[in-house]
Amino acid sequence: MTSLEVIDTDAFLDMPVSSQLLYFHLNMRADDDGFVANPKKIVRMLNAGTDDLKVLIGKKFIIAFEDGVCVIKHWRINNFIRKDIYKETKYLDLKRTLFIRKNGAYTQTQDERSTLVPQGHFRVDDLSTSRQPRLGKVRVGKDRLSCNQKLQEKQEEIFNQDDTLLGILNNDKNRHIRLIARFLMERRKRYGTPDFTSKEQINATFPRYVRVAKKVAAFENNQIIEMFEKAFERVGDETTLETVYKYLTK
């Protein structure tokens, strides 16, 4: 099933019809945790284009992993599987890298609004995003302190990396690069989390930012700022530069 809460949004309806169709097919073939083993095979079956898959990834309707597996971001908004028929995904190593927000959406970003995805069957209503992420079974004392310390160090590393990147982009001579920095800083101001969580993610997604930023740069500053506000207001933390560009060209 799919929820109108997801597919009735401007972000979803602004996508090409072929991308929307692919989303429905991915949902139909996902396991009970929303993981899809062979999204590229499904693309070929539908005679769709690889760009349709990229659109879903760019729009954050699916989360793609390096091994080709993907997961439906809003799976737990679209579906609830009864405990007596639930079968946990076999991609447990990937599931352990995900967090889940109060609204049931998967994310790869850890913040005050998200918690590690529990193993096994669970209800979103039972989650508490204010608790500390579960770090596995460790002894009370030095072991637990060590785990928490490592987690804190990792968070600081991510934030420092993101701040450094923003500083570099904001001082670039090219206007479209500075626009990327402005967009990322607006996201940070509103949601308090870094846009990139690893160097691999930067390498994978930054070229897309550059392509759309060049298109956005064709507009006046006041138009761009106005569309930033409009996009964040309507789409929230799912806003991308593509969202801003679509509002600019409406």
Instruction: Count CA atoms closer than 13 A to 78's CA, side-chain side.
Output: 23
Radius of gyration of the chain from Cα atoms?
A: 19
Greatest Cα-to-Cα distance within the chain, rounded to the nearest angstrom: 59
Q: Which residues pair with 62 in a beta bridge?
A: 72
Strands 114-116 and 106-107: unpaired
- In angstroms, the CA 219 to CA 214 distance is 10
Enter the pTM of the model.
Answer: 0.52
User: Which residue is listed with tokens 């083993």?
Assistant: 37
Tokens matching residue 99: 């967090």
Residue 182: its pLDDT value, please?
Answer: 83
| CA distances for 208 relative to 26, 47, 167, angstroms | 23, 24, 19
Residue 101: its pLDDT value, please?
Answer: 87
Instruction: Count CA atoms closer than 13 A to 118's CA, side-chain side.
Output: 13
> From the first residue on, what is the mean pLDDT of each consecutive set of 10 residues in the chain (250 residues)?
84 91 93 94 90 93 92 89 88 89 86 82 70 42 47 41 55 82 79 61 73 90 87 84 89
Residue 22: its pLDDT value, please?
Answer: 94
Q: Which residues pair with 71 in a beta bridge?
A: 35, 63
**Element spanning 57, H or E:** helix 50-58
CA 14 remoteness from chain centre? 18
Residue 77: its pLDDT value, please?
Answer: 87
